[in-house]
């Protein structure tokens, strides 16, 4: 048995399939470059903070000194939002970025030492 060459009708199909495979490979590569790799290489501050264990008691003191003016002494929300169950709305990376960037005005930028940020995260988790 000898293989028969593809008919003229089958040749465009092969070209289309090859193009689709190539396009899929390009899309997967772009997703890796744009989404997955940068997330794996998060900034050193966030990475260091997430490796530390925080103290909710220390975090509460930090909160009272720096955050309670806008979020309320009990984190119930005033000018800033209520922070109870905030960890249901944002993950730790998002919480860190929110604090250090001051992304939503009028919240100021605030970047405590990584241990202090770990303490603040522990306190925010205790509000759940």
- Can you give the pLDDT at residue 57? 98
Q: Which of 127, 93, 99, 128 is nearest to 113 (CA)?
A: 99
For residue 58, the Cα-to-chain-centroid distance in whole angstroms is 24
**With a cut of 50, which residues of the chain have pLDDT below it?**
none
Regarding whether 113 and 69 lie in a shared domain, the answer is: yes
Print the domain residue range for 71: 44-126
Regarding whether 76 and 22 lie in a shared domain, the answer is: no
The domain spanning residue 90 has which CATH number? Answer: 1.10.760.10
The answer to whether residue 6 is domain-embedded is no
- Can you give the pLDDT at residue 8? 63
Give tens-digit pLDDT for 63-100.
999 999 999 999 999 999 999 999 999 999 999 999 99
pTM for the whole thing? 0.68
- Can you give the pLDDT at residue 31? 75
Nearest-angstrom CA–CA distance, 51 and 113: 13
Token pair 């000018």 is at which residue? 79
Regarding whether 29 and 82 lie in a shared domain, the answer is: no
């Amino acid at each position: 048995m000898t293989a028969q060459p593809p008919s003229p009708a089958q040749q465009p199909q092969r070209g289309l399939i090859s193009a689709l495979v190539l396009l899929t490979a390009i899309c997967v590569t772009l997703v890796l470059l744009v989404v997955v790799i940068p997330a794996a290489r998060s900034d050193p501050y966030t990475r260091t903070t997430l490796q530390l264990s925080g103290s909710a008691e220390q975090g509460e003191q930090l909160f009272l000194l720096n955050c309670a003016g806008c979020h309320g002494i009990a984190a119930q929300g005033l000018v800033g939002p209520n922070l109870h169950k905030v960890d249901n709305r944002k993950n730790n990376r998002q919480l860190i970025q929110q604090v250090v960037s001051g992304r939503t005005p009028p919240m100021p930028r605030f970047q405590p030492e990584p241990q202090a940020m770990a303490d603040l995260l522990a306190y925010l988790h205790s509000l759940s």
